[in-house]
Amino acid sequence: MQKSRIIKDKTAQAIMFGLTIVSILMVVVMFVGLYLKSAPVLEDRSLWGLLTSSEWKPMKGEFGFSPFVAGTLWVTFVAIFLALPISLLTAVFLTEYAKSYVKKFVFPALDILAALPSVIYGVWGVLVIVPWISKHIAPHFMDFSTGYTVLAAGIVLGVMVIPLLVSLFIEVFSSVPLELRESSLALGATRWQTTKKVLFRRTYPGIIAATVLAISRAMGETIAVLMVCGCVIGIPNGFLDPCYPIPALIANNYGEMLSMPMYEAALMFAALILFLVVLVFNLISRIVLYRLEKRLGNS
């Protein structure tokens, strides 16, 4: 009787250990899978050549990724540039200022923003943002624009990362002990001074880490960006040019790539780049956030 219980316990342990290891190994398996698939194009070309060349002619075997890399960077930059101040102010407001009845309205609103699928943001972008840019923003700078631009993709993406940024910032800010704020307030500092001199100074590694996480999220976003970015191959020269980020490239071409092994390898290489960037960004920022949590939690 006793023995069977212990055997049950040990069996369960073994199975659970197995499941845990397998799911951790997913990271490795994913990397190896994508790497093997993109090997043909990596053997054929140098890594540097692939990333810097701007010739994209799959039919002739030319795979230059620089327009797509540039598109991704542009869109991500615009998105973070727009979302960061709004998210930071919202998070400070919610942790330092807001009364509880205000929070009762704001948190569900952020919940909804976080829950909406990216295709819905895409629909919103196509129906609201794109016409708005075409009619009201672009005419100030150029004769005509369809509205499918870096700016449109950046705005849509910015809205999508706001809930993530706010929830990360709130987590970071709530790790600061109340006593620190109280001592600053007791010395006669205003709330804003306390926020700047105590909160921000104490948590700036966390703020940076949260931003890096949001950047990696923004880089991989596909459908919403694909719907509003314009999908014209070329390095954008300004925020009113169309662009073609990496995820859009993969999503748009998945049907045709089967017929040509080299083309498939190139697209898998694109997925590999995304995976690696996300992996590195996530690891760095998570380590910073864990450390911060520990340090501030103990003090």
Q: Determine the Cα–Cα distance for residues 123 and 128; give it in Å rounded to an integer.
A: 8
Q: Determine the Cα–Cα distance for residues 78 and 236; give it in Å rounded to an integer.
A: 13
Q: Does 279 bind another protein (CB under 8 A)?
A: yes
In the complex with another protein, the residue whose CB is nearer, 193 or 237, is: 193
Give the per-residue contact string, 196-225, with another protein (x = CB under 8 A; - = no).
Answer: -----------------x--xx-xxxxx--
Q: Does 74 bind another protein (CB under 8 A)?
A: no
Q: Does 254 bind another protein (CB under 8 A)?
A: yes
Among 41, 133, 152, 162, binds another protein (CB under 8 A): 162
Query: What is the Cα gyration radius of the chain?
Result: 23
CB 31 within 8 A of CB 234: no
Among 47, 57, 89, 299, binds another protein (CB under 8 A): 89
Rounded least distance, CB 143 to another protein, Å? 26
Phi-psi region of 252 (alpha: psi -120 to 50; beta: other; left: phi over 0): alpha
* Region of 17-25, 46-54, 56-64, 173-181 interacting with another protein (CB under 8 A): 17-25
Q: Does 33 bind another protein (CB under 8 A)?
A: yes
CB 231 within 8 A of CB 250: no
Rounded least distance, CB 12 to another protein, Å? 4
DSSP state, residue 116: S
In the complex with another protein, the residue whose CB is nearer, 142 or 280, is: 280
Element (H, E) at 249: helix 246-253
The residue ranges of DSSP E strands in 126-271, in sequence order, are none
Q: Does 250 bind another protein (CB under 8 A)?
A: yes
Among 56, 63, 65, 124, binds another protein (CB under 8 A): 124
Backbone angles phi, psi at 83, to 5 degrees: -80, -30
Q: Does 119 bind another protein (CB under 8 A)?
A: yes
CB 225 within 8 A of CB 149: no
